């Protein structure tokens, strides 16, 4: 049993080594990812109320029967987004870059689906019709497959005021990111082999990154995760404000005010951290985002 305990301890030790290295070399990207995740989690908690007068969307927005309640569905999706993004952040902190890349792909897709569905009531109504595996697959193909989700987001960006050049840039950005991070999901030859080795922050290499450890490769993945969450929050609030023209009726109730404060920190923190790097829509951050209610 002592040998087994020693093996298990080595797993935790390697993760601790990775966490220490990430906290030392990438404290700001790590903190930003947690801040964004906390904001999304607070949004989910803020939708958790049975009092209709406190709900964000009208209970009958999807159906006259008020079933399902759109706020409950959105709450569940935000919960999943918060959990996926936190999982990716934790893996990155421990130096598990390739598994984190797979989660980043899922986080990208889920965040984009939420934006598309909350924008379009018709699409949202179709989405909630998936009551079994067969119907869910059919609906996913109808709404999101073969570039449909990317094109839908481009339409949303145009209606929210993104200029044509930025819309084209974002469409290409999503396509390339999706293809790149899908390699980790589908375990491509390159992702599997190269992703098994971990570069150090001093530029040297060490052996197989079993169980994580110091891994400078997480810096790029952190940047992608942080962009995904930053963009999601930016467009999430813009859809509520500019498209639906709805805001919490009392921002001081539940966790809305805290979520607004965290969103401000995320928006500004991202721009401070990545200003001057090759990141899209930095210049659109101010005029696209809806201002929260006081």
Domain of residue 21: give its range: 2-288
Asked if residue 49 belongs to a domain, the reply is: yes
In a domain, 187, yes or no: yes
At residue 120, the pLDDT reads 97
Residue 136 maps to a domain: yes
* 215 located within any domain: yes
Within-domain flag for 156: yes
What is the domain count for the chain? 1
Secondary structure of 187-233 as H, E, C letters: CCHHHHHHCCEEECCCCCEEEECCCCCCCCCHHHHHHHHHHHHHHHH
In a domain, 293, yes or no: no
pLDDT at 49: 82
Give residue-wise pLDDT tens across range 262-294. 999 999 999 999 987 655 554 444 444 443 333
Residue 177 lies in a domain: yes
List Cα–Cα distances, 28 to 22, 38, 103, 186, 271, in angstroms: 10, 15, 20, 30, 12
Predicted local distance difference test score (pLDDT) of residue 239: 98
pTM: 0.92
Q: Name the percent of the chain lying above pLDDT 70.
A: 93
Other Cβ atoms within 10 Å of 205 Cβ, number = 9
> In the predicted model, what is the mean pLDDT of the chain?
92
Residue 294 lies in a domain: no
């Amino acid at each position: 049993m002592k040998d087994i305990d020693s093996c298990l301890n080595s797993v935790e030790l390697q993760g601790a080594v990775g966490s220490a290295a990430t906290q030392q070399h990438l404290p700001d990207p790590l903190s930003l990812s947690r801040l964004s995740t906390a904001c999304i989690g607070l949004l989910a908690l803020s939708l958790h109320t049975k009092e209709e007068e406190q709900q964000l969307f009208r209970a009958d927005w999807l159906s006259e029967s008020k079933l399902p309640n759109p706020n409950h569905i959105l709450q569940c999706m935000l919960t999943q987004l918060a959990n996926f993004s936190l999982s990716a952040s934790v893996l990155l902190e421990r130096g598990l870059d390739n598994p984190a890349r797979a989660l980043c792909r899922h986080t990208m897709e889920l965040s984009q689906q939420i934006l598309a569905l909350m924008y379009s009531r018709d699409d949202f109504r179709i989405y909630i019709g998936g009551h079994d595996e067969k119907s869910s697959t059919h609906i996913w193909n109808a709404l999101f497959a073969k570039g449909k989700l990317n094109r839908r987001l481009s339409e949303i960006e145009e209606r929210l005021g993104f200029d044509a050049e930025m819309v084209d840039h974002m469409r290409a950005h999503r396509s390339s990111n999706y293809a790149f991070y899908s390699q980790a999901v589908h375990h491509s030859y390159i992702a599997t082999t190269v992703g098994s080795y971990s570069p150090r922050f001093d530029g040297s290499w060490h052996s197989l990154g079993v169980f994580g450890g110091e891994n400078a490769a997480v810096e790029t993945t952190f940047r992608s995760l942080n962009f995904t969450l930053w963009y999601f929050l930016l467009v999430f609030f813009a859809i509520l404000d500019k498209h639906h023209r709805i805001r919490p009726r009392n921002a001081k109730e539940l966790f809305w005010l805290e979520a607004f404060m965290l969103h401000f920190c995320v928006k500004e923190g991202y721009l401070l951290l990545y200003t001057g790097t090759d990141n899209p829509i930095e210049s659109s951050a101010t005029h696209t985002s809806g201002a929260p209610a006081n």
